Amino acid sequence: MNAPVPPSVSDAIRARRSLRHYSSRPVPPEQLGELLDLALEAPSSWNYQSRSIVVVSDPQVRDGLVAATGGQPQPREAPVTLVFVAESAAWEGDLDDIYAQARERGAWNEAFIASFQEGGQAFQRDLAERGLLREYAVKDAMIAASFFMLAAAEAGLGTSPMNGWDEQEVKKVIGVDDRDDLAVALVLAVGHPAEERVHPGRRPRERKVFHDRYGG
């Protein structure tokens, strides 16, 4: 018997729905690890990778997320909930491993690394002066979360990108409530679906896509 053909990226995009209810069936660690690796492949500004992912599976910690999300059922029912953390100070840390890896892979030469280091730091200092470090880190984290959701859909898993959470409470649950340099970008439930959601539809392209000028 031939193995089932996994859906294409476009199939996964069209089929994915946000789920509120999940079965108790666990997500195998190997599968979850592969999905996390795919999420971390997401594009990142200056390759600073200003995001991390907290994998929440402990029932008590999941209960904390239920409280922090106003009683929503997803963190309690889904075997895993991910918290995507935006790291606005990542650019100030030790970045030698990033440059070393790019050098070893032949992606960046020494001249590029030198100019990249200088340009990247100048760019981040400008963001800091304009109060935009958090915004850029959140963008990094959200792109990674989108990659995870599509990879999970391709693997037959359900996800729910959650709104309605108290950021300080979520930070407390994952142990970073004392870190002003960290922000919660997204809370994402992951698991095997226990419901089937019907696509509610989207507004037509003609109403949402413009060319050259907004509204044109």
Q: What local confidence, expressed as pLDDT, does residue 146 receive?
A: 97
- Higher confidence at residue 1 or residue 118? 118
Is the separation of the CB atoms in 80 and 158 below 8 Å?
Answer: no
Q: Across residues 33-61, what is the average pLDDT?
A: 97
pLDDT at residue 1 above 80? Answer: no
Q: What local confidence, expressed as pLDDT, does residue 14 receive?
A: 83
CATH of the domain at 59: 3.40.109.10
Is the separation of the CB atoms in 42 and 147 below 8 Å?
Answer: yes
For 32-67, the DSSP string reads HHHHHHHHTTS--GGG---EEEEEE--HHHHHHHHH
Residue 106 in any domain: the answer is no
Is the separation of the CB atoms in 86 and 140 below 8 Å?
Answer: yes
Q: What local confidence, expressed as pLDDT, does residue 108 receive?
A: 95
Q: What local confidence, expressed as pLDDT, does residue 12 receive?
A: 80
Contacts with 136 (C-beta within 8 Å, 6 or more apart), sequence order: 45, 50, 88, 127
CA 70 to CA 120: how far, in whole Å? 39
Is the separation of the CB atoms in 13 and 150 below 8 Å?
Answer: yes
Place of tokens 């795919």: 38
Q: Band of the pLDDT at 9, cuts 50, 70, 90?
A: confident
Residue 98 in any domain: the answer is no
- What is the domain count for the chain? 1
CA 185 to CA 195: how far, in whole Å? 26
CA 45 to CA 50: how far, in whole Å? 8
pLDDT at residue 58 above 80? Answer: yes
85-111 per-position pLDDT tens digit: 999 999 999 999 999 999 999 999 999
Residue 26 in any domain: the answer is yes
Residue 182 in any domain: the answer is yes
Q: What local confidence, expressed as pLDDT, does residue 4 receive?
A: 65
In 81-212, alpha helices (H): 96-104, 110-129, 133-154, 167-173, 205-208
Q: What local confidence, expressed as pLDDT, does residue 3 receive?
A: 65
CA 80 to CA 157: how far, in whole Å? 11
Residue 178 in any domain: the answer is yes
Residue numbers of the domain that contains 138:
16-91+131-208
Residue 99 in any domain: the answer is no
SS3 178: coil
Average pLDDT score over the chain: 94
Residue 10 in any domain: the answer is no
Which two three-digit tokens encode residue 200?
A: 């509610």
CA 179 to CA 175: how far, in whole Å? 9
Residue 154 in any domain: the answer is yes
CA 148 to CA 185: how far, in whole Å? 14
* 171 bridge partner residues: none
CA 172 to CA 40: how far, in whole Å? 24
